[in-house]
Amino acid sequence: MPIKSILYLLLITILFACSNLETKEARLKEDVNVLLEEKLLDGQIAAWHDKEEVNIERRLAVVLTFSENKKICRDYYTILIDNGREKKRVFDTSCRISKRNWEPVNWAFKNGNKTSARSRFNAFQEMNKDAPDSEHYVSRYRLPPVLLKSVKKAELKYKLPLRKMIDKAAEKKELHPRLVHSVVKVESNYNPRARSHVGAKGLMQLMPGTAKEVGVTNSYNPDQNLKGGTTYLKKMLNRKGIKGNTALALAAYNAGYGNVKKYGYKVPPFKETKNYVKKIMKLFKE
């Protein structure tokens, strides 16, 4: 075959390979942009295969969404699984350039492993260490002795089936019943008539504004209060920067989401809030 023909075929092969690479890279960029823009909430992870990489699975997880220099940014980590072998997690941050156009994410450990993104992820993990899955209702669970003793005493005193009522409210909002029990214990000690010095009322101590927000007209009504309290707690669990983090959701329930956000998506440095989160997490983990 003439040299010119060989060179021509070689050039065509190279151009075709480059075209395929560009197409694959374009697909990958589009996939990631869609995930960062509208699909993934904080705490969620996506996994997929490209049609040209059947042996490679890509995983992208968002750790935290925040604002920086008037831009929306997202801490994330990526994982490549090549023929069943999982490579090192890569932590980094991607900021939004324009609508559905984000800075490229890193897939290779050698290209970047941002310390700040990793440290925030580790802090989230530590706060939820040993805690049951807070976002899923379970029908079989154990109440620690301190909760069981308190709820039985309250059921006799107020003549209410509090365990059944809490279980029902937890199931409707897909919350772990022990988490709801723990909040009720710390908030009111199972007293449906409880009222704080700042005006919080009922089993889950709803403030007037919060009660109105979740559609509660009578905070002293146990069913209404539990429905409203679990609705609000679930809402906090799903807020940006909190998603899936029980400790932060409890901090937001106590001190407000604004304060959790203000202090960099950490438990605010308020003595009351820190003690509140600590007490409930201890009951929840037992």
* pLDDT at residue 27 in the model: 86
Whether 15 has a pLDDT exceeding 50, the answer reads: no
Q: One of 25, 187, 213, 286 is an active-site residue; which one?
A: 187
* pLDDT at residue 63 in the model: 81
Whether 8 has a pLDDT exceeding 60, the answer reads: no
Task: Show me where the domains of the chain are located.
Answer: 3-112, 145-285
* pLDDT at residue 48 in the model: 87
Whether 272 has a pLDDT exceeding 80, the answer reads: yes
Mean per-residue pLDDT over the chain, rounded = 85
Reading the block at residue 204, the tokens are 């889950």
Q: What distance, in Å, lies between the first and last C-alpha atoms of the chain? A: 78
Whether 147 has a pLDDT exceeding 90, the answer reads: yes
Cα distances (angstroms) measured from residue 225 to each of 89, 138, 218, 220, 284: 43, 21, 8, 7, 20
Sign of CA dihedral 254, 258, 259, 260: positive
HEC per residue, the chain? CCHHHHHHHHHHHHHHHHHHHHHHHHHHHHHHHHHHHHHCCCCCEEEECCCCCCCEEEEEEEEEEEEECCEEEEEEEEEEEECCEECCCEEEEEEEEECCEECCCCCCHHHCCCHHHHHHHHHHHHHCCCCCCCCCCCCCCCCCHHHHHHHHHHHHHHCCCHHHHHHHHHHHCCCCHHHHHHHHHHHHCCCCCCECCCCCECCCCECHHHHHHCCCCCCCCHHHHHHHHHHHHHHHHCCCCCCCCHHHHHHHHHHCHHHHHHCCCCCCCCHHHHHHHHHHHHHHHC
103 a catalytic residue: no
> Which of the listed CATH numbers 3.10.129.10, 1.10.3720.10, 1.10.530.10, 1.10.286.10 matches domain 145-285?
1.10.530.10
* pLDDT at residue 178 in the model: 94
* pLDDT at residue 23 in the model: 83
Whether 168 has a pLDDT exceeding 50, the answer reads: yes
Cβ neighbours of residue 213 under 8 Å, at least 6 residues apart? 232
Minimum mean pLDDT among 67-71, 139-143, 189-193, 259-263: which range?
67-71
* Closest residue by Cα to residue 135 from 37, 228, 242: 242
Length reported for the chain: 286
CB 232 within 8 A of CB 226: no
Higher-scoring residue by pLDDT: 179, 64: 179
**Residue range 140-148: mean pLDDT, rounded:** 90
